Amino acid sequence: MAKLYFKYGAMGSSKTANALITKFNYEERGMKVWLIKPALDTRDGADIVRSRIGLEATAYAITPELDVFEEFKAAGEFHVVIADECQFFTAKQIDGLRRIVDELDIPVLCFGLRTDFLTHTFEGSHRLFEVADSISEIKTICECGNKAIVNARIDEGGKVVTEGGQILLGGNDSYIAMCHACWKKAIKEQK
């Protein structure tokens, strides 16, 4: 019986590396993987999934208006779906991934962030928390040593940003994973 998995973590927790290692493991066993990512994530190219440690693979870019279920059926025969940066998918697209599991008995593994820089869930993550069969955290740590749960957005001077749009693509230059206490302390000290 196939399942819908949501593996989430803060920035720097190696979510993409985990996704690409999972892809490798399926392919090593002769299985075909449909690797997808949101089209809005163009940091490494429109159709590239790349981890901070250098792993990369070509992916199918999903635009917000695409019906994921229909795209999967038209894409060919695959044994598994792996979705990177799934927080950027729409709720309807997450429902399409759910349909792939339920109606086609194909496992779907989603990797992404739980929350934005203000600790609010993304649309795709929110829906995954509602409909995933399995939810697990990929942990990382704050500079203080505690578990990091906040994706703190930082400016050019390294100060924590508390205003702006929900989506700003970036890596270590724009975000740092922090525990909630250190995040609140940094905000307080900046005022």
Residues in Cβ contact with 136 at an 8 Å cutoff, skipping those fewer than 6 apart: 5, 6, 7, 8
Taking the C-alpha atoms of 20, 26, 31 and 34 in order, what is their torsion angle to the nearest 10 degrees? -30
Nearest residue to 6 via CA among 130, 118, 100: 130
> Which residues participate in catalysis according to the annotation?
85
**Tokens 């302390």 sit on residue:** 185
Burial grade of 176 (CB within 10 A; 0-12, 13-18, 19 or more): buried
